[in-house]
Structure 1
Amino acid sequence: MQAFIPDLSILLAFAAASIVLAITPGPDMALFISRTVNYGRAHGIAAVLGASTGLFVHIGLAAFGISLLLATAPTAFFALKIAGALYLLWLAIQAIRQGGGITLTKKARRQPSVWQSYLTGVGINLTNPKVILFFVTFLPQFVSHDDPAAAVKLLFLGGEFILLSIPIVIAIVWGAEWVAGLLTRSVVAQRALNWSFAAVFAGFAAAILTIEARH
């Protein structure tokens, strides 16, 4: 593979994590579903595109910041990786404790424009602390501290995340009414999703901590 393309095993592992994140209920998904249910699919897709724009910002900032740590503070980079593992464990615990239900916003008296739905998607993504923490603490797990192409690989992985997540969330928009009903009324579905997410997050965290303990 080219120097800027991560190994196939890393691409597959990150793809699995990306898919789990894409279907995890949260503020972004709540926005996509509520805009679709209340105003139509065009608004839902506009919100998806807005959130994707926000992801480009997160990925760029994370890649730049992490590459800077690699060059100037290897110890801080190691600490960041450990923090990432602990953050994933926290996500696993939260997935079990918080019920995982999704709260949909109520329809406003005045219908927004499609452009406003797009901007709302940008805003909710840029200000979502979970998204910020995830990209800052999770992306470093997929590069080595001595890799000269780390920054470019991080950008490549960020692009992979966006390419995988957009079709998934657009599919959710198309099935918004069914997804909304499933996540707001079915306790069994919520619990199944929560335990699945918790298992994946905990598995990644355990793998990270095990690998770092061997170094």
Structure 2
Amino acid sequence: MIPIADLALFAAAATAMVLTPGPNMIYLVSRSICQGRRAGVVSLAGVIAGFVVHMLAAAAGLTTVFMAVPLAYQVLRWAGALYLVWMAWQAIRPGARSPFEAQALAPDSPARLFTMGFATNLLNPKIAIFYLAILPQFVRPGHGSILAQSLQFGMTQIAVSFTVNLGIVLSAAGVSVWFSRRPGWRSAQRYIMASVLGGLALRLLLEPRKVP
């Protein structure tokens, strides 16, 4: 059984990732502003479907890796930490964009909105690496089935992402205007995210892990 503390820390990592600028956030905010909340929600449904595909693929793959190559556990831990550091730099590097800076998009049908949301997430390298390099750091062989843990963590990530993204989709226009009028807060948001990501990376590097 996964300890509550580990699940809470993973939820915090998932929250930091969903609030970090990336294709999903920029697409959902832009779609919601350009075509309205309903279009944003339909697009979000496609994004969630993409998360399910990532989760199932990662759960099946991790089960195989942990059973066949125990050393991969440590390799993925380092890869995950380095990726978090890279994400922190991307948030604060010169010229970095806030996820609340929308792009102009033409109106589309519900079916296309869903498909574009699905494709945007399915092809999103940030999500792929999160499932392949970050999620494994929280899976412990001593806590039971690797597959069950992977699915539980995956469902937690999906729940966090859905909740945060839904809130942003429903308030995208207001949030975008608020940030556009307060450039200082845009910068603060990016530095806060970088600090959270950097802290998570440090924790992953310093935490002793055991392999079977």
Task: Give the TM-score normalised by structure 1.
Answer: 0.89
The Cα offsets for residues 17-62 of structure 1, whole Å up to 9 and x where unpaired, read as: 2222222232111111111111111110011111010001111111
Following the alignment from structure 1 to structure 2, what is the Cα–Cα distance between the partners of residues 170 and 196?
21
Distance 1:29 1:75, change over 3 A: same
Secondary structure of 1:112's counterpart equals: coil
For residues 76-99 of structure 1, the C-alpha deviation after alignment (integer angstroms, 9 at most, x for no partner) is 221111111111111111211143
Alpha-carbon RMSD:
2.0
Q: Deviations over 1:167-187 (max 9, x none)?
A: 221111111112222445532
Check the 8 A contact 1:88/1:205 in 2, yes or no. Answer: yes
Q: How does 1:57-136 map to 2 (within 5 A)?
A: 57-97=53-93, 98-102=95-99, 103-108=101-106, 111-136=107-132
CA distance in 2, matches of 1:214, 1:113: 50
Given residue 208 of structure 1, which amino acid in structure 2 is its aligned partner? Answer: L
Q: Give the deviation of 1:107 after TM superposition.
A: 3.2
> Per-residue deviation at 1:100?
3.2
2:200 equivalent in structure 1? 204
Query: In the alignment, is residue 34 of structure 1 matched against residue 37 of structure 2?
Result: no
The count of corresponding residues between Structure 1 and Structure 2 is: 209
**Counterpart mapping for 1:41-52 below 5 A:** 41-52=37-48
Contact 1:100 1:191 (C-alpha < 8 Å) held by counterparts? no
CA distance change for structure 1 residues 214 and 71 in 2, over 3 Å: closer, same or farther? closer
Deviation, structure 1 residue 137: 0.5
Query: Greater CA deviation, 204-213 or 54-63?
Result: 204-213
| Structure 2 residue runs without a partner (length 5+) | none
TM-score (norm 2): 0.90
Q: Unaligned regions of 5+ residues in structure 1, if any?
A: none
Q: Secondary structure at the match of 2:207?
A: helix
Letter in 2 for 1:80: L
Cα shift readout 1:102-157 (whole Å, capped 9, x = no counterpart): 4533232xx31112111110000011111111111000111124554122111111
The answer to whether the Cα contact below 8 Å between 2:33 and 2:102 also exists between their aligned partners in 1 is no
Runs of 4+ displaced beyond 6 Å: none
Separation in structure 2 between the aligned mates of residue 54 and residue 175 of structure 1, nearest angstrom: 23
Q: Is the 8 A contact 1:64 1:151 kept in 2?
A: yes
Alignment equivalent of 1:170, drawn from 166, 173, 177: 166
